[in-house]
Amino acid sequence: MSDCIFCKIAKGEIPSRKAYEDDRILAFYDLDPQAPVHILLIPKTHIAGADELTEENSGVVAHIFCVASRLARELGLENGYRIVNNCGADGGQSVRHLHFHLLGGRSMAWPPG
C-alpha cells in the first residue's frame, strides 16, 4: 500500500529504531512509548488489521509472537509483558497495518480503558 506509513517503515522509506528484522517481519520502537519497553511488530506484507486475517495470510502472526517472546527474553522482561492488538475504530487502531504492541517493564492494569 503506497500510502501506508508502516509499509514505508518496512521498506526503510521512513526511518525507525529497529529491534528485529527478517524477510517477513519488522520490529521497531514505538515513537510514543506507553511503557519502558514498547515495540511494534509488523508483517512486511500489508494486512490492514486483525479483521483482515485469513487462513492463507495468518502464518506470520505465529512468527510475530515467537519473535516477541524472544525479544522480551532478550530485553529482560522476565516479570512478564503484554502483547496488544488494536483492531478497528472501537479497538483504538490508528494505523491500518496489522501490528502488535509488545509492552513491558512496568505492571499493567486490567481491564484496559
Residues lying near ligand AMP in the complex (CB under 6 A) are found at: 5, 14, 16, 30-32, 40, 86, 92-95
Provide, rounded to whole angstroms, the least separation between the CB of residue 8 and ligand AMP.
9
CA–CA separation, 39 and 37 (whole Å): 6
Provide, rounded to whole angstroms, the least separation between the CB of residue 27 and ligand AMP.
11
Q: Which is nearer to ligand AMP, 55 or 113 (CB)?
A: 113
CA–CA separation, 33 and 105 (whole Å): 11
The total of other beta-carbon atoms located within 10 Å of residue 32's CB is 5
**Which of 46, 63, 99, 101 is flagged as catalytic?**
99
Q: Is 46 a catalytic residue?
A: no
Provide, rounded to whole angstroms, the least separation between the CB of residue 59 and ligand AMP.
22
Please give the positions annotated as active site.
99
